[in-house]
Structure 1
Amino acid sequence: MSSTPSPTTPPDAVAADADREYQANLRRATLSSSVGSALEYFDFAMYGLMTALVFNQLFFDQSNPAMALIAAFGVYGVGFAARPIGGLVFGLLGDKVGRRFVLVTTIVLMGGSSMLIGVLPTYESVGALAPALLVVLRLAQGFGAGAEQAGSTVLMAEYAPVKRRGFFSALPFVGIQAGTLLAGLAFSALTLLPEEQFLSWGWRLPFLASVVLILVALWIRAKLEETPTFVHLEKREQTAERPLRDIFTKGLPGVVTGIGLRMAENGGSYLFQSVSLAFVTSAAIGLDRGSVAWGVTLGSLIGVFSVPLTGAISDKVGRVPVYRFGAVFMLVYSFPAWWMLSLGSTGLSIAVVAIGIGVAVNSMLGPQCAMLPELFGNRHRYLGVAMARELSAVLAGGLAGVLGASLMAWTDGNWIVLGLYMATLAAITTASTFLVPETRGRDLLRTEDAIRLSTTEKDSAYEAEAAVVPGSGAADETSSPARA
């Protein structure tokens, strides 16, 4: 990763140069991952907001508004269905040819699809072709997004210093909060437009603006170097020849556990971001759409601080205790949250959504950023993280909109049923935290998965830290030391 020093170069100067190069790459990796996360979640949060309040009106037959809403959330779920396929395809590439190539490809595919949504014709203009085109672009968007977050997660975990891996791995996920925050602000601003202008052209602007984030992300990622752990594999010719076989023979326990860990975090996120807005703006409750969307904005603002904070705390006390706190919090919060939403108070609804996103969801997201990469061995880490993230995205996030809208229609907006749905997701994740071993400080050069190890087994990452690959937790004579 660095140029060969002259034989006469003092050792201290070589170490200083290597350290400066590592710090520069760490900054690039953080910025690259953050921008990609911001783009993905800006698009997905904006799509969720538009699904409940715009797409159901513009892209579907209005003879049955309830079915139009369900159909709109169905297309929303289509994007999640494509994510595991994208995670599989790009995860294989990420473990065979490297993380950087995949991250450049996915940002173009994901961002380009989002931008094209902004120029789609509506149902009134072209009939059934409108939802068909929306489905195609939503599939492409989900296909690219399927590896984007997994890539960002793996990239930062493999670059981050061992003792602060939780904190550094969480930093790019501030991009998630920034993207969601930006989507909430943009949507709230657009709702100030007259209804006719908003539905005519105002909703298109955020999707067209995706091109700016695409260009910024490409510029940063063009300068990004490959991660130290993948370089370690390449040097020793240990890159996976059959990562797909490995993940289904050796890595399946980690994937299943990772899915369980994500059910409350991912499903809860989309329930608060989209289904709650559809619930409180329904005819039975009748709150203003723009006002309640501020709950998403405020929750994302809280997340800017709570995600890196919980990541840092997990460096001190471990990933599992912090993750379990978030899952239990959501479990306890589920029924009171939906009851308060049903009361029809704008201020209370904003607070409920903000706490749900900012505290319940993000207390799990913070430690998750390092925890998922630490669960998998080096040879199939990208694919393992992608499968755990994206299969859970279908089962939790993708179904959240369709099932949530269906439950609202079937029960006439019964808050107890929606609370039970969220509590079920939280219970699954809480149980999963008792199945996963503690992974804090794990050596990322190890090829076996953590889930196969005894929960009492200790990694030697801290003891070996004097001579490790930055962020890997393993010794390598060619690398600069990890920084505490």
Structure 2
Amino acid sequence: MSTTAPQTPKTPSTHRVSGAETVTAGGNVRSPRKAALASFLGSTLEYYDFFIYGTAAALVFPQLFFPGGDPAIATIASFATFGVAYIARPLGGLVMGHFGDRLGRKNVLLVTLLIMGMASLSIGLLPTFDQIGIWATVLLVIARLAQGFSAGAESAGASSLTIEHSPEGRRGFFTSFVMTGYASGMVLSTLVFIPVTALPEEAMMSWGWRVPFLLSILVLAIAFWVRTRLDETPVFEEEVVQAGEKKKLPAREVLRYQGPDVLRVLLMSIFSVMQTVFTVFGLSYATDHGGFDGSAILTVNAVSIGLSMVLMPAAGRLSDRLGRKPLMLTAMFGCAATIFLYFLALGTGNIWMVFLASLLFMTVLYSGFNGVWTSFFGELFAAPVRYTGMAMGNQLGLMVAGFGPMIGGLLLGTGTFGWVPVAIFGSVCALLAAGACITARETAHTPIKELGEPYLRATGRI
């Protein structure tokens, strides 16, 4: 009778599968590069669609969907349809965040892509006010609401997915590619719209403006294909599914245990008003009051934001070393001051002055926020409520940003310095965001399983 010596169970450990993937202790595959690419492409689609809408709202929608009467009122009404999407964003974040925290990040993000792509395609096919009257405006608003619903779920889901696929010590770097997609979408939308604005006015108003919306189907197809080949995040599988941490109502849980963090994210997200004032209101102000050609300002915006594609990953990587808060606060205080320089430059009539001011304001300083918030906001929450908590706070704060161009139109005064109230509005938003950032926990060097300390302590997990 032979006996077999008992086998000592091996402790699973993380090991490399390829240059881009590792297997975690629980046997799940972590794919940081693939996750970053999937998030980059999803954000590219989201912001491509948002920027082409914002550009159209500034240049053509007032005449196509809000004709007659005072042109200034038509422009404000057009900006209101841009902002209305931000009303739908919190709803999209809440609904899709609920399913993202219960069913997983990957499948929910596939749905958000489809909604965004179909909504943008629909806008490109819409009849105008002259063809069907007020129903054209109604259909435009419905499509815009669908865009907002999708976008409300996209950034929080993509950030959660990338954070949870990233290795320790590099979460900021990999998750920065969520907003690098923002810059990519901006550049693509501008490159598409520049030749449209160069068309004869009749051609631009009849069919030219539709082309950028119809082309979004190409970005949708590529992003959808990449996401279907990405595994669910190891953190969700190990910390939520295997640990039995699925919550029936993640929103109730996150408000109960991490309500202050939701409020912090909300206030910090208001800082995004700088982005919409720059890209949408600034475009309208430059063409209507600064005497600039629309294509010239679109080019300046595309170059200044395009260059941030280099600085945002650098900011994310630097935040892995120095912490998230120093980069965020530098951006907030810096932009609160340089927004005045940007509008002063628009008043000079010199396109090179505008470019230099844009470079400092949007490329250098704002990148310190855009390259970091995607990791910082998500890291404030524990895995079972991460998607919902980040989406809820972020999208409620972005409502202010969404209506930033409309608020700017209402605040705009007369004369050379009529822009001052708009700049003050932006600075106040930046300072509110900075105050919230100061009170937040630093998360850069916290192990991923210890993120969301208030929730973990309240539920007895630490």
Matches within 5 A, 1:14-53: 15-17=15-17, 21-22=21-22, 25-53=31-59
Q: Which moved more, 1:14-23 or 1:325-334?
A: 14-23
Instruction: Give the Cα–Cα distance (whole angstroms) in 1 for the partners of residues 308 and 300 of structure 2.
Output: 12
The aligned counterpart of 1:457 is none
Instruction: Give the Cα–Cα distance (whole angstroms) in 2 for the partners of residues 124 and 195 of structure 1.
Output: 16
2:294 matches 1:289? yes
**Cα–Cα, structure 1 residues 289 and 356, in superposed 2: closer, same or farther, change >3 Å?**
same
Instruction: Give the Cα–Cα distance (whole angstroms) in 2 for the partners of residues 271 and 399 of structure 1.
Output: 9
The aligned counterpart of 2:340 is 335
Displacement of 1:313 in angstroms is 0.6
Instruction: Give the Cα–Cα distance (whole angstroms) in 2 for the partners of residues 293 and 133 of structure 1.
Output: 27
The aligned counterpart of 2:354 is 349
Q: Residue deviations 1:231-279, cap 9 Å, x none?
A: 0121121122321211221121111101122222x11001000101111
The aligned counterpart of 1:165 is 171
**Cα–Cα, structure 1 residues 452 and 100, in superposed 2: closer, same or farther, change >3 Å?**
closer
**Cα–Cα, structure 1 residues 273 and 450, in superposed 2: closer, same or farther, change >3 Å?**
farther
The aligned counterpart of 1:466 is none
The aligned counterpart of 2:284 is 278
Instruction: Give the Cα–Cα distance (whole angstroms) in 2 for the partners of residues 356 and 451 of structure 1.
Output: 37
Letter in 1 for 2:107: F
Instruction: Give the Cα–Cα distance (whole angstroms) in 1 for the partners of residues 417 and 147 of structure 2.
Output: 31
The aligned counterpart of 2:26 is none
The aligned counterpart of 1:245 is 252
Asked if structure 1 preserves the Cα contact closer than 8 Å seen for 2:30 and 2:234, the reply is no
2:108 matches 1:137? no
Q: Which runs of 5+ in 1 are unaligned?
A: 1-6, 454-473, 475-484
Instruction: Give the Cα–Cα distance (whole angstroms) in 1 for the partners of residues 358 and 56 of structure 2.
Output: 17
**Cα–Cα, structure 1 residues 449 and 133, in superposed 2: closer, same or farther, change >3 Å?**
farther
2:438 counterpart SS class: coil
Asked if structure 1 preserves the Cα contact closer than 8 Å seen for 2:172 and 2:317, the reply is yes
Instruction: Give the Cα–Cα distance (whole angstroms) in 2 for the partners of residues 451 and 370 of structure 1.
Output: 18
Instruction: Give the Cα–Cα distance (whole angstroms) in 2 for the partners of residues 224 and 218 of structure 1.
Output: 10
In the superposition, the TM-score normalised over structure 1's length comes to 0.87
Instruction: Give the Cα–Cα distance (whole angstroms) in 1 for the partners of residues 89 and 11 of structure 2.
Output: 47
Instruction: Give the Cα–Cα distance (whole angstroms) in 1 for the partners of residues 279 and 81 of structure 2.
Output: 16
Q: CA RMSD in A?
A: 2.5
Letter in 1 for 2:420: I
Letter in 2 for 1:165: R
* Aligned mate of 1:220, from 222, 226, 250: 226
Q: Which moved more, 1:94-103 or 1:212-221?
A: 212-221
Displacement of 1:56 in angstroms is 1.0
Q: Residue deviations 1:313-347, cap 9 Å, x none?
A: 10111111111111111112122222222222223
* Aligned mate of 1:300, from 301, 305, 320: 305
Letter in 1 for 2:307: I
Instruction: Give the Cα–Cα distance (whole angstroms) in 1 for the partners of residues 38 and 379 of structure 2.
Output: 21
Matches within 5 A, 1:145-224: 145-224=151-230
Displacement of 1:217 in angstroms is 1.5
Letter in 2 for 1:325: T
Displacement of 1:447 in angstroms is 6.9
**Cα–Cα, structure 1 residues 367 and 195, in superposed 2: closer, same or farther, change >3 Å?**
same
> What number of residue pairs does the alignment pair up?
445
The aligned counterpart of 1:97 is 103
2:79 matches 1:73? yes
**Cα–Cα, structure 1 residues 152 and 12, in superposed 2: closer, same or farther, change >3 Å?**
closer
- Identity over the aligned pairs, expressed in percent? 32
**Cα–Cα, structure 1 residues 80 and 273, in superposed 2: closer, same or farther, change >3 Å?**
same
The aligned counterpart of 1:311 is 316
In the superposition, the TM-score normalised over structure 2's length comes to 0.91
Letter in 1 for 2:48: F
Q: Which runs of 5+ in 2 are unaligned?
A: 1-6, 23-28
Q: Residue deviations 1:342-394, cap 9 Å, x none?
A: 22222322333343221232211112121111101111000011012211110
Asked if structure 1 preserves the Cα contact closer than 8 Å seen for 2:83 and 2:402, the reply is yes
The aligned counterpart of 1:116 is 122
The aligned counterpart of 2:3 is none
Instruction: Give the Cα–Cα distance (whole angstroms) in 2 for the partners of residues 45 and 414 of structure 1.
Output: 25
2:448 counterpart SS class: coil
Q: Residue deviations 1:380-416, cap 9 Å, x none?
A: 0000110122111102x11201101112268897021
Displacement of 1:16 in angstroms is 4.3
Instruction: Give the Cα–Cα distance (whole angstroms) in 2 for the partners of residues 412 and 272 of structure 1.
Output: 18
Letter in 2 for 1:41: Y
Asked if structure 2 preserves the Cα contact closer than 8 Å seen for 1:338 and 1:418, the reply is no
Asked if structure 2 preserves the Cα contact closer than 8 Å seen for 1:436 and 1:451, the reply is no
**Cα–Cα, structure 1 residues 72 and 163, in superposed 2: closer, same or farther, change >3 Å?**
same
